[in-house]
Amino acid sequence: MTSVASVLAAVPASVLPASIPSPPASVWYLGPFPLRAYALAILAGIVAAVLITRRRWVERGGAADDVLEIAFWAVPFGIVGGRVYHVLSSPDAYFGPGGDPWRAVAIWEGGLGIWGAVALGAVGAWIGCRRQGVRLAPFADALAPGLLVAQAVGRLGNWFNQELFGGPTTLPWGLQIDDAHLPAGYDPGTLFHPTFLYELLWNLAAAAVLVVLDRRLRLGHGRVFWLYVVLYTAGRLWIELLRIDPAETIGPFRLNVWTSIIVGLGALVAFVVVGRRHPGRETTLLLDPPAPQEHEESSPTTDR
């Protein structure tokens, strides 16, 4: 954590703001209906991912309508999976002393774990791909950059909710937190690492890397997706070490740190193994490609 902070401190202060303010509100009302910034950020991320994936899927030879049909299954599965992982990895707020079990379903208050979202979202995507008759691996490759963009946009919800920030800092881009959201033991006016911004920028940069490498190396058979996991977990690892919000710990590290290490190493192995077995891209996106038709040669005839 100290080394990460020292690297960040090397950025010239003259080009940076004195601090980053937090939004004064995270909920607006249209009559009796609440509009929550967290939900809007998630929805905006989903729209961005669908649009990016649609373009990439068409470029790979797929049908544009496939993306919406698959998203119909993947998105709700991903939201449920993300919420389940969040509750399991931070159970005290719901099942601990003074917790409220009913809040476990209050997804509008914030709280989605990316690992659960990806895992259960993949199940939904598999169902959607089967129904559309296309292969999951190339679809995952088309999705990967858009998924990173969606995660980047979704982090804006944490900014509005003034949550999941890092430890205190004197860096010129420290995040302001109002007294209502200030963690216990910190004085008013303390600035904190804006981990939402770190992850937002990391994800956008990783998405650009995926697009460039995919175009130059023509990656296929799920390798773009596995590379997405490698890049995301690498960033999540050091960002997670900065965070101070309550979380389950195993030994010296938070659960998400261990998850990043294990999942990231597994994805790296998968990237290498798949690359050796299946270099290049798929020749077809279909689960059951049509069999080649045999054409009988006929001798030319001449009318007289």
What is 146-187 written as a DSSP string? Answer: HHHHHHHHHHHHHHHHT-S-BSB--STTPEE--GGGPPTT--
Are 177 and 192 in contact, with CB atoms under 8 Å apart?
yes
Q: Which residues pair with 192 in a beta bridge?
A: 168, 175
Q: Which residue type, as a one-letter code, is found at position 142?
A: A
Q: Which residues pair with 166 in a beta bridge?
A: 243
Residue 295 confidence (pLDDT): 54
Return the DSSP state at 35: E
Q: Which residue has the tokens 């070490």?
A: 241
Give the HSE-up count for residue 216: Cα atoms under 13 Å, Cβ half-sphere.
Answer: 6
Distances (CA, A) of 230 to 30, 122, 209, 227: 42, 17, 12, 5
pLDDT tens string, the chain, 304 residues long: the values are: 445 555 555 555 444 557 999 999 999 999 889 999 999 999 999 999 999 999 999 999 999 999 999 999 999 999 999 999 888 877 877 887 877 888 888 776 777 888 899 999 999 999 999 999 999 999 999 999 999 999 999 999 999 999 999 999 999 999 999 999 999 999 999 999 999 999 999 999 999 999 999 999 999 999 999 999 999 999 999 999 999 998 888 999 998 999 999 999 999 999 999 999 999 999 999 998 766 665 544 444 434 3
Dihedral sign, CA of 36, 144, 83, 262? Answer: negative
